[in-house]
Structure 1
Amino acid sequence: MKVLVVGSGAREHAIAWKFHTSTRNNGVFCAPGNAGTGEFAVNLDIDVSDTRAILSAVNEYGIKLVFIGPEVPLSRGLADELRKNSIPTVGPGADGAKLESSKAYSKEFMLRHQIPTAKARIVKNSGELEAALKDFQLPLVVKKSGLAAGKGVLETSDLVRAREFAESQLKDGEVVIEEFLKGYEISIFALSDGKNYLLCPPAADYKKAGDGNQGPNTGGMGAVCPVPWFDASLMPEIEETIIRPSFQGLRNDGIDFRGILYFGLMITAEGPKVLEYNVRFGDPEAQAVIPLMETDFANLFEAVANQTLETQQLSISPLQSICVVVAADGYPDEYRKNLKVELPDIRLEKRQHLFHASTMERDGELVTGGGRCFSVVGKGTELLKARNRCYELASQVKFPGAWYRKDIGNRIFGEDAD
Structure 2
Amino acid sequence: MDVLVIGSGGREHTLVWKLAQSKKIDKLYALPGNPGMNDLAECITDIAVEENEKITAFAKEKKIDLVVVGPEVPLINGLVDDLQAINIAAFGPTKAAAQLEGSKSFSKEIMKKYNIPTAKYEIFTDADKAKEYIKEQGAPIVIKADGLAAGKGVIVAESEQQALDAIDEIMCDKAFGAAGDSVVIEECLIGEEASVLAFTDGETIVPMMPSQDHKRAFDGDKGPNTGGMGTYAPAPVATPQIMQCVQSKILDPMIAAMQKEGKIYKGCLYAGLMITKDGPKVIEFNARFGDPETQVVLPLLESDLADIMMACANGGLKNQEIKWSNKAAVCVVLAAGGYPRQYKKGDIINGLDIAAQKGALVFHAGTKQTGDNIVTNGGRVLGITALGKDIKEAIANAYADVDTIKFSDMYYRKDIAQKAFKHISL
TM-score when normalising by structure 1 = 0.96
Alignment partners' CA distance in 1, 2:64 and 2:356: 27
Q: Secondary structure of the equivalent of 1:244?
A: helix
Output the CA distance in 1 between the equivalents of 2:153 and 2:273.
17
Spell out the pairing of 1:340-379 with structure 2 (5 A cutoff): 340-342=348-350, 343-347=352-356, 352-379=360-387
CA contact (8 A) 1:213 1:412 kept: no
TM-score by length of 2: 0.94
Counterpart code for 2:142: V
Give 1:59 deviation, angstroms. 2.1
The AA in structure 2 aligned to 1:378 is A
For 1:156-175, what aligned pairs fall within 5 Å after superposition? 156-170=157-171, 171=174, 172=178, 173-175=181-183
Identity %: 39
5+ long unaligned stretches in structure 1? none
Distance in 2 of aligned mates of 1:130 and 1:406: 37
Residue type of the alignment partner of 1:33: G
Tell me which residue corresponds to 1:20: 20
SS in structure 2 of the partner of residue 24 of structure 1: coil
Match of 2:398 among 374, 390, 396: 390
Letter of the 1:278 partner, please give it: N
Unmatched 5+ residue regions in structure 2? Answer: none
Amino acid at match of 1:114: N
Alignment correspondent of 2:331: 323
What corresponds to 1:406 in structure 2?
A: 414
1:181 shift after superposition: 0.8
Aligned residues between the structures = 413
Q: Give the letter for the 2:82 counterpart.
A: E
C-alpha deviation, 1:231, in angstroms:
2.6
Q: Distance in 2 between matches of 1:293 and 1:57?
A: 30
**Alpha carbons of 1:284 and 1:66: their partners in 2 closer, same or farther (altered >3 Å)?**
same
Within the alignment, does 1:65 sit opposite 2:73 as a pair? Answer: no
Written as runs of structure 1 = structure 2, the 5 A alignment for 1:103-118 is 103-118=104-119
Alpha carbon RMSD of aligned pairs, Å?
1.6
Structure 2 CA distance, aligned partners of 1:33 and 1:113?
39
- Cα distance between partner residues in 2 of 1:248 and 1:49: 30
- In structure 2, distance between residues paired with 1:356 and 1:252: 39
Q: What secondary structure does 2:398 align onto? A: helix
Deviations 1:173-230 (A, max 9, x none): 1111111111001110111111212110111000000100011000000001001333
Q: Structure 2: how far apart are the matches of 1:239 and 1:20? A: 30
Residue in structure 1 matched with residue 38 of structure 2 by the alignment: 38
Q: Distance in 1 between matches of 2:329 and 2:60?
A: 37
Superposition pairs for residues 116-127 of structure 1, below 5 Å? 116-127=117-128
Tell me the distance in 1 between the aligned counterparts of 2:240 and 2:136: 35
> Residue 273 of structure 2 aligns to a residue in which SS?
strand
Match of 1:310? 318
- In structure 2, give the amino acid aligned to 1:168: E
Partner residue, 1:95: 96
**Distance in structure 1 (CA, Å) of the matches to 2:115 and 2:39:** 47
Letter paired with 2:282: V
Which amino acid in 1 is paired with 2:196? I
Q: Following the alignment from structure 2 to structure 1, what is the Cα–Cα distance between the partners of residues 347 and 61?
A: 34
Q: Deviations over 1:118-145 (max 9, x none)?
A: 1111111123213321342311111111
Instruction: State the one-letter code of the partner of 2:123.
Output: I
How far the C-alpha of 1:347 sits from its partner, in A, is 4.3
